[in-house]
A = this chain, B = another copy of it.
Amino acid sequence: MTETDPTQTKGFDRARQAASRALTEDYVEMISDLAAEFGEARITDLAARLGVAHPTATKAVARLKREGLAVSRPYRGVFLTEEGEAMAESVRARHRVVVALLRAVGVPDEVAELDAEGIEHHVSSRTLAAFEAYLTRKTD
């Protein structure tokens, strides 16, 4: 029998949706990083950094363009829109907080950096706020 308990399923649904958003966030963040480093994000560099073949990166960028997060012209670099830049900024900020929190509770630096990459996409705004508050307290 077992009634469909919405409270129970909620968490799993969230986790699945987050998996999709994670890809977008990774690309947006990486495009922003590359733009900062080289002035523009090239498909090849994106693919290399994300560890995928270049057509995979091309497809992903097409999606970002569709969603209004990036723009690009054939055979040229990729650039973020204002909206994309904003997302990149918040993603980067969240990443920093997650890494800082992991370190604060005793996770070794290299491990913190690696695990944060996966964890950050599942940190809700409320949890993020709690992390920031904790770090502030600790710093005082």
Contacts and interface: CB of A to CB of B under 8 A. Distances in A.
Interface string A1-25: 1111100111111110011001000
A96 interface: no
Contacts of A44: 2
Most buried by B among A3, A26, A114, A133: A114
Determine the interface band of chain A, counting residues with CB < 8 A from chain B: 35 or more
B122 A119 contact: yes
Contacts of A48: 2-5, 9
B124 A122 contact: no
Majority secondary structure of chain A interface residues (helix, strand, loop or mixed): helix
A118 B2 contact: no
A122 B130 contact: no
Interface string A81-94: 00000000000000
Contacts of A105: 101, 105, 130-131, 134
